[in-house]
Amino acid sequence: MTLQAHYLYLALAIVLEVIGTAFLKQSNGFRELAPSLVTAASYAGAFYLLSLALKTMPVGVAYAIWSGAGIVLITLVGWIAFRQSLDAPALFGIGLILAGVVVINTMSRSVAH
């Protein structure tokens, strides 16, 4: 498996996790069948793809990327799809998380470049 494949698996896992989280909101506490099924399937797929990425990526690095990118993406989904807004401190904090993901990917020796 190539390094690019691991990043592809991780990217797809992140997208599925964000989809699952968006539909989790729509599931109304798992009372709505269709969004609940999308949530479950998305999370199952996300964790499977994450497990493939973890075959060669360090778990801490993969999870930092997973959680950081997921936070940023689900924030965008919340803003666009659910009309949720954040105040300046929340946006600043999310910016710091995104900066951390960038630092890990561009400077860390734990990640093969």
Closest alpha carbon to 105 in 44, 61, 52? 61
What phi, psi does 85 have (nearest 5°)?
-115, 155
Query: Does any domain span residue 22?
Result: yes
Query: Does any domain span residue 10?
Result: yes
CA–centroid distance for 54 within its chain: 15
Q: Note the pLDDT tens digit of each residue in 3-26.
A: 689 999 999 999 999 999 999 999
| Structural domain that includes position 70 | 3-107
d(CA 10, CA 43) in angstroms, rounded, equals 13
What pLDDT is recorded for position 3? 63
Number of domains in the chain: 1
Query: Does any domain span residue 94?
Result: yes
Query: Does any domain span residue 58?
Result: yes
Q: Note the pLDDT tens digit of each residue in 39-96.
A: 999 999 999 999 999 998 889 889 888 998 999 999 999 999 999 999 999 999 999 9
Query: Does any domain span residue 113?
Result: no
